[in-house]
Chain A
Amino acid sequence: MHVRIWGCRGSIAAPGPETIRYGGNTSCVEVRGDHGEAIVLDAGTGARPLGERLMGEHEPSLRVDLLLTHLHVDHLEGLGMFAPIWSPETELHIWGPPSPVASLDERIATYFSPPLFPVHLTEVPARVSFHDAPREPWTIGSITVSAHPILHPGATVGYRLESEDRTLAYVTDHEPALGTDLDAVDTSWISGYALAHHADLLIHDCQYTVEEYASHVGWGHPSVAHVAAFARRAEVGRLVMFHHHPGHTDDQLDAMRGEVLSGWSVDPARCIVAAEGAEIVV
């Protein structure tokens, strides 16, 4: 699998000179399968440039599978500017967390409709299908996908993508240590553990420093210490620190990487700060 990061900022886009190295677009990751499958993880503002690239390369039709972790706006706000959705040649499958209250398309339409957006979701030209993420693994081309609910306010899932013997885990917007000592508890009681266990690459929320987390308990994001503990317990290959706080500068993110590595004693090359444009082979 080939991974390209199009947006790795959390909460709200944060362009500017202090975020130029790691980028300011919100969550969007492109995954290409070995047979050309086009999977998109979340549709933050990074979905806009990704959509332009996809439209520039497809002939004559395009299938895209968009896997949404949840429907907070920083993971959805790029959908209206995702160029393939405005093409009738596009077959777009949108997968997302099931809710006991409303269907996935109803919940997405809350954002994708007036007054928050000028066009209603039902009016887009693309052939769009909505799917509740199944409880059992399913396949997209050669890739097997699993979705599990994870600890974050509201219906939220993480994803595990497996292709032959390689595994990518995408677990963003996740507070695994809420009420839990990650070092003491049996792993079966750790949110997201099964998704991340032995993943070759884990893309994980890394929003707060330890000091910041103290005043944000329950907001749905971890501290660097939690991320280190989670990576250690899940025995992942490489970790990509993701969902950067919009207020964190490039230099602060470098310092946070050092804090993760102080709690996860591995070859530093295994700990990566997500950056827009970065490409990683899994």
Chain B
Amino acid sequence: MSTQAAQHHLVLILARDFASRLATPVFLVDVRGTVIYFNEAAERVLGRRYIEGGGMEAEEWSTVFAPSDDDGNPIELNALPLGVAILERHPDHRMLRIHSADGTQRRIEVTAFPLFAHEDECLGAIAIFWETPEGAER
């Protein structure tokens, strides 16, 4: 029997297609937390281009943008909305600060949720984020 070719699950294909059409920044990760896609709007906020097949692992994306709270305290992966979605498999939302790859510090609001094809089949997670004005509260 031949080995089947690699292919993303249909839910992830549709999620990527959806994200690619949005003006809102979107970040898509697989079930291991590896980035498999982010859209052009996200590229602008993150200051980094998406490269096909250049998947950033969770340990990298959770640190490379130096996420922190308003007081400058670093936020660990398990407290980031996307980390919560992958590790605990439920939705999460919070405000945080990041350092874009171009050196700009940005304040963003992030909503993330896991992607389930079936109740027992988690395929990954998706995060949608917005830049938020300084001083804005939630």
Chain A residues, CB < 8 A from B117: 100, 149
B23 at the interface (CB under 8 A from A): no
Find the A residue at minimum CB distance from B116: A100
Instruction: Tell me the minimal C-beta distance from B14 to chain A in angstroms.
Output: 7
B136 at the interface (CB under 8 A from A): no
User: Assuming the A-B contacts A149-B117, A179-B20, are A197 and B13 also in contact, with contact meaning beta carbons closer than 8 angstroms in the complex?
Assistant: no
How many residues of A are in contact with the other chain, CB < 8 A?
Answer: 28
User: Assuming the A-B contacts A135-B121, A162-B1, A198-B2, are A186 and B17 also in contact, with contact meaning beta carbons closer than 8 angstroms in the complex?
Assistant: no
CA–CA, A195 to B10, complex, Å?
12
| Residue-wise interface mask of A (149-180) relative to B, using a CB-CB cutoff of 8 A (1 in contact, 0 not) | 11100000000101011010000000000111
Is B8's CB under 8 angstroms from A151's CB? no
Partner of B17, one of A150, A178, A188: A178
How many residues of B are in contact with the other chain, CB < 8 A?
Answer: 23
CA–CA, A98 to B53, complex, Å?
30
Is B14's CB under 8 angstroms from A148's CB? no
Partner of B6, one of A149, A151, A164, A194: A194
Partner of A146, one of B4, B8, B9: B4
Is A179's CB under 8 angstroms from B17's CB? yes
A45 at the interface (CB under 8 A from B): no
Is B10's CB under 8 angstroms from A148's CB? yes
Instruction: Tell me the minimal C-beta distance from B16 to chain A in angstroms.
Output: 6
| Residue-wise interface mask of A (123-160) relative to B, using a CB-CB cutoff of 8 A (1 in contact, 0 not) | 00000000000010000000010101111000000001
Find the A residue at minimum CB distance from B10: A149
Is A188's CB under 8 angstroms from B4's CB? no
A187 at the interface (CB under 8 A from B): yes
Is A187's CB under 8 angstroms from B17's CB? no
User: Assuming the A-B contacts A162-B2, A179-B17, are A100 and B7 also in contact, with contact meaning beta carbons closer than 8 angstroms in the complex?
Assistant: no
Partner of A187, one of B5, B11, B16, B121: B5
CA–CA, A125 to B116, complex, Å?
37
User: Assuming the A-B contacts A100-B118, A179-B20, are A167 and B2 also in contact, with contact meaning beta carbons closer than 8 angstroms in the complex?
Assistant: yes
CA–CA, A191 to B10, complex, Å?
6
Instruction: Tell me the minimal C-beta distance from B106 to chain A in angstroms.
Output: 29
B119 at the interface (CB under 8 A from A): yes
Find the A residue at minimum CB distance from B5: A197
Chain A residues, CB < 8 A from B5: 187-188, 193-194, 197-198
| Residue-wise interface mask of B (1-44) relative to A, using a CB-CB cutoff of 8 A (1 in contact, 0 not) | 11011111111011011001100000000000000000000000
Instruction: Tell me the minimal C-beta distance from B45 to chain A in angstroms.
Output: 23
Partner of A194, one of B7, B52, B53: B7
Is A148's CB under 8 angstroms from B7's CB? yes
Chain B residues, CB < 8 A from A43: none
Chain B residues, CB < 8 A from A144: 1
CA–CA, A197 to B119, complex, Å?
29
A14 at the interface (CB under 8 A from B): no
The 9 A-B residue pairs with the shortest CB-CB distance in the complex, in nearest-first order: A194-B7, A197-B5, A179-B17, A149-B10, A194-B4, A193-B7, A194-B5, A162-B1, A188-B7
Q: A151-B14, A167-B2, A189-B16 are in contact. List 18 more A-B contacts (CB 8 A).
A: A148-B7, A148-B10, A149-B10, A151-B13, A160-B4, A164-B1, A179-B17, A179-B21, A180-B17, A186-B52, A189-B7, A191-B10, A193-B7, A194-B5, A194-B7, A197-B4, A198-B2, A198-B5
